[in-house]
A and B are shown apart, each in its own frame.
Chain A
C-alpha cells in the first residue's frame, strides 16, 4: 500500500514554545490512522500543519508524493485533503444542505459571468450541487434535517454535518479532529461504524481522538504524541504495549511499579 500522507521531521515553535518537535508520520492509503496523546500534546497543531493552516518552523509534509508544506489551505483542499475541526466550524446560520453545498465549491465552476447570464454552466452547477448534496446527506443519514439551521441540531448531528460537508469535496484523505468528543457511548459507536464504512468506501482517514475504545477499535495504525514529540507509531497492539506510551499516560511511577499495562 502506498504512503498517502507523510510528515518529515515537522517542527512548530511559537516563540519559545515547542508545540511540535520533529514529528514523523506515515499514513498508508486506505488506512484509518489515529493520532492520540494527552491534552496539549500538539495533535491539533500538527493537524493544522498538515492542512496548511500553520506553516511549520521546519520539516515537510508530502501528500500523494507532492510537497504541500508551503501551500495554502484552499490549495491543499483542492488537492484532495478535507478536514473537520475540534471546535465544530459549521456555518451556524446556514441550513444543513447549504453547509454541504459550500463543500462543492471546488467541484463546480460557475464564475461571475455565468452567474449573471444564468447560462448552462450555472444551471448544471446548481443541479449538481443540489443532487449531490442530497446524495451525501442520504448516505450519512441526515436527509431529514436538510433544511434545519446547523446550530439548531444536537451536537452529535452537527459533527456528522461537518463530516458530510468534508465529504462533498470528494477527498482522497479525511482529517477528523476529535469527531466523537462530547458524544455518549451509543453515538460514539454509531460514528465509529460510519467511519469504518467510509474506509470501506475507499477513503483514507486520519483521526485525532481521546476515546481509547474508539481508537483501538477503529484504527489500523496509531501515532502517539506527547509534549509535541512522537512517542510511538504502529498498530494499536504495538502502541498498547509500548513502554513510552504507558509512561506518558500513566506516569513513570505506575509503570515502574508494575502498573496498569
Chain B
C-alpha cells in the first residue's frame, strides 16, 4: 500500500491505472507507424520534450513550493553541455546526456544555495538572474560557445550503428526520455522524499518541527528539477542540430512556466496537459504568432483568477487556495467551510 499523493484521483489507482497507462504507451509506440508525417512527428517530439521540461519545473514549483522562473537556464546548460561534449570530446550521445543533466543539477545547486533559508521571492529573482547570466555567458564566451553564432552541426546520436537523424526516429528517443522521467519521478514523489517535499510546500515551519531538513530537501528538489531540464536540453541539441543563446531567453522560461501554470501544478499529469495544450495552441496560433505570448499571459492571469492550481493541478493543496487564513479559531459548532 503506497502513500497517495495529494491530488491523486482515487479511481485512477492500481490496476485501472496500469492498464490505462499501458494502453496509452502502446498507442504512442505505434503512432509513428500509423501516421509518420514529418510535421506531426516534429510536434510530438516537441510535446515530449516540453513534457519533461514542464514536469521538471513542476517538481520544483509544484511539489516543494519553491519558485523557479529561470528554468530556461538549465535547459540551456544541458543543450550546450551535450553539444560541447559531443563535438569537443567526441563523447557518445548516451553518455553526454546524463552528464549534461548532472552539470545542470550542479548549477542548480549553486543557484539555489544562497536563498535556501530566505523567503521564496528571493529565489525567484535569483533564478531569473541566473537564467539571464547563463544566456549572457553563452553569448559572450565566444571561445567556448561560439557566441551569438551558436553551435551548429551537432552530431546525431548513434543507436547500435543506426544514425538517428529523422523526426520519426527521434520521436522514440524523446518518448523514451519522457516515459523514463515520469516513471522515475512517480517513484520519487510517492516516497519519503516526495512526502518531505510536499510537507515543505504545505507548511515549512510545521515540516521543520517534525524534523524534515528543509534546506537539504529544497536543494535536492531543485537539483532534481534542474537535472531533467538539462537532460531535455541535451536531447534537444542534436535533434535541432543547432543551438544559439537566443533560444534560451527569459521568454522560453516563461513559455515553460505558462505550460505548468495552465496545465496544473502539484500533480504528475498537470504539466503534461499543459505541454500538450500550449504546444497545440502554438500550432493553431501560427498565423498570429506575435500574439501567442499575449494569449499565454492572459491565460496565466485567468488561471490565477479562476483556478490557481491549474487545470489538472493539485486541488487538495495550498496551491489551490484563493484565500489565505483558512485556519481561524473555529467556533464550537461545525462551521461551514470557506465562510
Contact = CB atoms under 8 A, between A and B. Distances in A.
Q: Report if A and B touch in the complex (beta carbons < 8 A).
A: yes
B193 A110 contact: yes
Interface string A199-215: 00000000000000000
B195 A115 contact: no
A72 B220 contact: no
A241 interface: no
Contacts of A152: 337
A191 B78 CA distance: 56
Given A89-B206, A91-B203, A94-B202, A130 B1 contact: yes
Given A93-B316, A130-B1, A115 B209 contact: no
Interface string A55-81: 000000000000000001110011000
B327 A88 contact: yes
Interface stretch (A97-105, A230-238, A249-257): A97-105
B192 A110 contact: yes
Interface residues of A, number: 51
A64 to B, nearest CB: 16
A242 B332 CA distance: 34
Contact of A116 (B188, B195, B314): B188
Q: Which of B194, B202, B211 has most A Cβ within 10 Å?
A: B211
A112 interface: yes
Contacts of A126: 1-3, 191
A77 B195 contact: no
Interface in B300-339: 314, 316-318, 320, 326-327, 329-330, 332, 334, 337
A5 interface: no
B193 A106 contact: no
Contact of B214 (A74, A98, A103, A118): A74
B50 to A, nearest CB: 23
Contact of B329 (A72, A166, A181): A181
A91 B202 contact: yes
B17 to A, nearest CB: 16
A133 B209 CA distance: 18
Nearest to B205: A89
Most buried by B among A94, A168, A182: A94
A95 B195 CA distance: 13
B199 to A, nearest CB: 5
A102 B210 contact: yes
A105 B188 contact: no
Interface of A: 51, 53, 72-74, 77-78, 82-83, 85, 87-95, 98, 101-103, 105-106, 108-112, 114-116, 118, 122, 125-126, 129-130, 149, 151-152, 154-155, 165-166, 168-169, 181-182, 184
27 contacts: A53-B208, A72-B208, A73-B205, A87-B327, A89-B205, A92-B327, A93-B202, A93-B316, A94-B198, A98-B195, A102-B207, A105-B192, A106-B211, A109-B192, A110-B191, A112-B188, A112-B193, A116-B184, A116-B188, A126-B1, A126-B2, A129-B3, A130-B1, A151-B337, A154-B334, A168-B210, A182-B330
